[in-house]
Amino acid sequence: MATWNSRGLRGSALEDYINHTNEQYLHKGLALIQKIPTPITPVRIDKEHRHITLAYFDQRSTVDYIGVVQGIPVCFDAKECRAATFPLQNVHSHQIEFMKQFERQGGIAFLLIYYTERNILYYMRYEEIQNFWDRMQHGGRKSIRFEELSPEFFLELKCGCIVPYLDTIQKDLDKRP
């Protein structure tokens, strides 16, 4: 079972950018997106500083963020990747299943992947992640090469910390039947 301190602060820079972006979107009345906390059970607490130093995850998380954009339900997960390939082990089957069910209910599900070495973001539509997932399940690659990604879904941080995913949600909507 995973513990809190075994995963470090992986993904925290991207999550900080997204949290800041979500505050801006809320302030402008464009979207209401909330970070979903992962329930934990504290095991070790530093009483002097009142910090949890070791904890176990109570249950599997679904996605990092959920909310609504102009009346459309949205959920997504934030991932960071240093290399030019994104390992599918960074996405879990219960997350894929949650996104699948979310889409079936009329929502939009996606991943935001931050390629830290390139300082670029990628908006991966649910349909795209499902195709890569299926490929892996059928004995194919267990990672996604940077070159396999659609150029139209790359994003750049605006002002160094704004993740402009609303623009890309519109592109996603335009591609749906």
Binding-site positions: 62, 64, 77, 95
Q: How many Cα atoms occupy the beta-carbon half-sphere of 160 within 13 Å?
A: 0
| Residues facing 78 on adjacent strands | 112
Annotated binding residues for Mg(2+) = 62, 64, 77, 95
Identify the sign of the CA torsion 86, 88, 92, 95: positive
CA distance 24 to 7: 29
CA distance 36 to 49: 25
Strand 72-81 to strand 154-155: parallel, antiparallel, or no bridges (unpaired)?
A: unpaired
CA distance 43 to 35: 23
